[in-house]
Structure 1
Amino acid sequence: MSDAPTTAPPTETQSAPPLYVYAVTGSGHPLNLDGLRTVGDMGGPPDALVHTGLAAVVSPAPPDLRPKRRDLAAHQAVQERLMADGAVLPMRFGLLAPDETAVRTALEQHGEEYARRLTELHGTTEFNLKAARSQDDLLREVLTESDDARRLNELTRDGNGTYDDRVALGELVARQVDARQRLLADQVVGQLSGLARASVVADPAQDDFLNVSFLVERSRAHEFAEAGEKLAHDYGEAYDFRLRGPLPPYSFAA
């Protein structure tokens, strides 16, 4: 066996990681990003890619991106720092671009639309309201105010009702609950809409009857928060109001 010299295999060129995109803003927007950690702790603060009068705030994307608490916090901290100095288009957690060229291409292709949205969002913030009502309280209301529901409930409760009576009661209560929750949602949105520039209603989850986001002037943020607290107080303990904000205006950036 000869002692032939060995050579290391050629090193493959490592491609740059994709970019994580936090927000788009104007190129003249203050970019006070020092001291902020990035999603995935990829080293250094976020950076900005400037093109056609706009700036996209980005950082190298981690290879195992997941909605971990610390990364969600880092994502929001970057956006809040930017929002403190003016309007931004916040991107939702997890938006990736393959490279810098793709980011600049997006800024060029959608530049006019991004600029228009930035103008619309200037001086605003978002509040999100989710609300639920005690099902027992709602059921009592239905049985109190609906003669048919009360009659069928008494009939089936006493054991004298038929299977069809029980089915009819269930269907009637379901319709009544749905109608009352829809009306209640409209009433709540109506009471807060006068303090907002716009609102977007999303599908409520689980036991909630309402999931709505409001676009609010920053100068009225405190007033809006107080109105939300008063609303929760006025409706009483049978209701669960969860108001979050001020937030980046995610629901109005698209």
Structure 2
Amino acid sequence: MPLYVYSITAKDHPRQLEGVNGIGADPSPLRTVAQGQLCAVVSDIDEEIRPKRRDLAAHQEVLERLMVDGTVLPLQFGYVATDDLAVSEALQTNAEAYLAALQRLEGCAEYHVRASQEDEAPLLQQILQDLPQAKDLNDRIRSGDRDPGLPLALGEMVAREVQVRQESLAAGMTEALIPLAREHLLRSPSGTDFLNLSLLVPHEHQGRLRTAETNIAREIGSGVDLRFSGPLPPYSFV
């Protein structure tokens, strides 16, 4: 029977999953497939698994419960194996890499840090005050100058300055946070975000991370939407 695979743990992980449901409309009990020093947490499935909100939440709940008692290698949502033998063979074949990853992630959780410009008005106003060229163009437009090139020139100048300032702010926040992490991963921002940072943070540094979050939020003031999330399974570092 096909298996849905949630994570890999060390054999001595307690895996206390009483009361936790797996994925599927009628979830099968959670169980383990053991091989050597490793175990995979699985459940039997008899349906095609799609990323429904219910199943995404169930997948995450299993991983978060496992994290309470020890280190886990989380699998991304949707990993299905053909049967117990396939899982056992995968554990055996990749045992050295999995054990090394468990050791590397031991005592850590993942945190995400994202930032976006919540309100651009104060930033744009500050740019007009700081850049005489931008202020001059803006004053000419406001006074009725009909030169069609003025709005384009002003827009390009302001857009460049916004990018420079956001990149500088993101670099400052990253520099302040990465000393608290064992590893970090800086991704290209998407949408309106100008910072997308993942941190692998040892448990003993989590209080310092929260203090840093408070201090950064105070320093950057209003206009920036700063979002911390975690502790999370270390997907980004597996």
Q: TM-score, length-normalised on structure 1?
A: 0.85
| 1:194 aligned counterpart, secondary structure | helix
1:102 matches 2:109: no
**Where do residues 205-220 of structure 1 align in structure 2 (5 Å cutoff)?**
205-220=190-205
CA distance in 2, matches of 1:157, 1:29: 68
Aligned pair partner of 1:196 in 172, 175, 181: 181
- Quick one: which amino acid aligns to residue 76 of structure 1? Q
Aligned pair partner of 1:56 in 40, 45, 56: 40
Unaligned runs of 5+ in 2: none
Shift of 1:53: 2.0
Shift of 1:62: 5.8
CA distance in 1, matches of 2:53, 2:215: 31
**Where do residues 144-159 of structure 1 align in structure 2 (5 Å cutoff)?**
144-159=129-144
Aligned pair partner of 1:89 in 35, 58, 73: 73
Gap change, CA 1:74 and 1:146, over 3 Å in 2: same
- Give yes or no for contact 1:42–1:59 (8 Å, CA) kept in 2: no
CA distance in 1, matches of 2:103, 2:64: 18
Gap change, CA 1:110 and 1:147, over 3 Å in 2: farther
- Give yes or no for contact 1:137–1:238 (8 Å, CA) kept in 2: yes
CA distance in 1, matches of 2:80, 2:215: 40
Q: Which residue of 2 aligns with 1:36?
A: 20
Q: Which residue of 1 aligns with 2:99?
A: 115
- Give yes or no for contact 1:25–1:87 (8 Å, CA) kept in 2: yes
Unaligned runs of 5+ in 1: 1-15
Gap change, CA 1:85 and 1:38, over 3 Å in 2: same
Q: Which residue of 2 aligns with 1:71?
A: 55
- Give yes or no for contact 1:124–1:218 (8 Å, CA) kept in 2: yes
Shift of 1:217: 0.7
- Give yes or no for contact 2:32–2:39 (8 Å, CA) kept in 1: yes
Deviations 1:2-29 (A, max 9, x none): xxxxxxxxxxxxxx3x322211111222
Alignment: residue pair count: 237
- Quick one: which amino acid aligns to residue 26 of structure 1? A
Q: TM-score, length-normalised on structure 2?
A: 0.90
- Give yes or no for contact 2:28–2:44 (8 Å, CA) kept in 1: no
| 1:56 aligned counterpart, secondary structure | strand
| 2:126 aligned counterpart, secondary structure | helix
Richer in helix (by share):
2
CA distance in 2, matches of 1:161, 1:94: 58
Shift of 1:43: 3.5
Shift of 1:225: 1.8
**Aligned alpha-carbon RMSD (Å):** 1.9
CA distance in 1, matches of 2:88, 2:201: 30
Deviations 1:207-248 (A, max 9, x none): 221111111111221221232123213322222111111111
- Quick one: which amino acid aligns to residue 50 of structure 1? A
- Give yes or no for contact 1:24–1:88 (8 Å, CA) kept in 2: yes
- Give yes or no for contact 1:20–1:95 (8 Å, CA) kept in 2: yes
- Quick one: which amino acid aligns to residue 160 of structure 2? R
